[in-house]
């Protein structure tokens, strides 16, 4: 089995070839017996994969499936999404959480259509210019759409490498990407990353390994995230004044003002004539 010979990120020690091959065999064997059937694995359309990647950030796969299927049925192409209103996009996203992801996805679609003629892959190669897209997402889209010999490291993959190679949890992402590069089987990047995702989600789990995520999700109940969701639900029905919003949410007035101000800064809302509304 071929192993990628790529430039390693600084600080990553070299893994013996035999160790890499044993690791690859273990992961692929697990995948063949336990692979999940997921709708975004049935496409090589870069736009659809971009949608799935943004939806999957900090959200369980089981929750994403129905949202993804409805989204693609409604906006099957990136041009369709770019033409939608912000309110329509947010309504479709409601309940999935972290609603700024919907704004980023909508902005990304508009930019890709306007400046890249709808070419998602070209845009991913210049991901620094695309709202809400980082290195992980940009390379994941290329991997899953074109089987490109690239690596990407998410929470699951990070946990796998730490557990399998007995690495420190304090290891930098730069170093982890270096280990990932050493273990990539050339020509099988799509299959390899799907296998890693399932191996981490079903076998080398956080509960089993005790390895902490880099970012821990806070409790939703009583949080600002819950209040933000309540604000969006209210305003998706129409504009409202601060007093109307405060009566609906309750709590400290200053806290509600701060939440609304942040949502305006994030392009979720606008304030016009003393009434808040979802940005078009």
The catalytic site residues sit at 53
Sheet of 275-278: strand order equals 240-241, 275-278, 269-272
Q: Find all residues with CB under 8 Å of 212, minimum gap 6, and list them.
A: 169, 206
Structure tokens at 55: 């939806």
Structure tokens at 223: 């949080």
Query: Any bridge partners for residue 165, and if so which?
Result: none
Q: How far is CA 15 from the centre of its chain?
A: 29
Q: What are phi and psi of 34, to 5 degrees?
A: -130, 10
> Angle, nearest 10°, between helix axes 189-202 and 17-34?
70
d(CA 171, CA 179): 11
């Amino acid at each position: 089995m071929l192993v990628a010979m790529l430039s390693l990120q600084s600080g990553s020690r070299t893994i013996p070839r035999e160790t890499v091959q044993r690791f690859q065999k273990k992961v692929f064997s697990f995948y063949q017996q336990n692979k999940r059937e997921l709708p975004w694995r049935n496409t090589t359309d870069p736009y659809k994969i971009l949608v799935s990647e943004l939806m999957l950030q900090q959200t369980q796969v089981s929750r994403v499936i129905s949202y993804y299927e409805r989204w693609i049925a409604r906006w099957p192409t990136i041009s369709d999404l770019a033409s939608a209103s912000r309110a329509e996009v947010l309504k479709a996203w409601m309940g999935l959480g972290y609603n700024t992801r919907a704004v980023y996805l909508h902005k990304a679609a508009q930019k890709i259509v306007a400046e890249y003629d709808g070419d998602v892959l070209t845009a991913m190669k210049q991901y620094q210019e695309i709202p809400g897209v980082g290195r992980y997402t940009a390379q994941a889209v290329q991997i899953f759409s074109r089987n490109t010999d690239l690596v990407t490291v998410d929470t699951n993959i990070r946990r796998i490498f730490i557990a399998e190679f007995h690495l420190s949890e304090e290891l930098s992402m730069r170093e982890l990407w270096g280990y990932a590069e050493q273990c990539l089987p050339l020509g099988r990047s799509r299959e390899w990353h799907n296998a890693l995702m399932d191996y981490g989600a079903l076998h080398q789990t956080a509960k089993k390994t005790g390895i902490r995520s880099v970012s821990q999700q806070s409790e939703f109940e009583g949080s600002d995230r819950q209040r933000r969701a309540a604000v969006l639900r209210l305003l998706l029905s129409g504009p409202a004044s601060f007093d109307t919003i405060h009566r609906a949410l309750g709590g400290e007035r200053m806290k509600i003002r701060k939440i609304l101000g942040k949502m305006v800064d994030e392009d979720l809302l606008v304030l016009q004539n003393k009434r808040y509304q979802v940005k078009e």
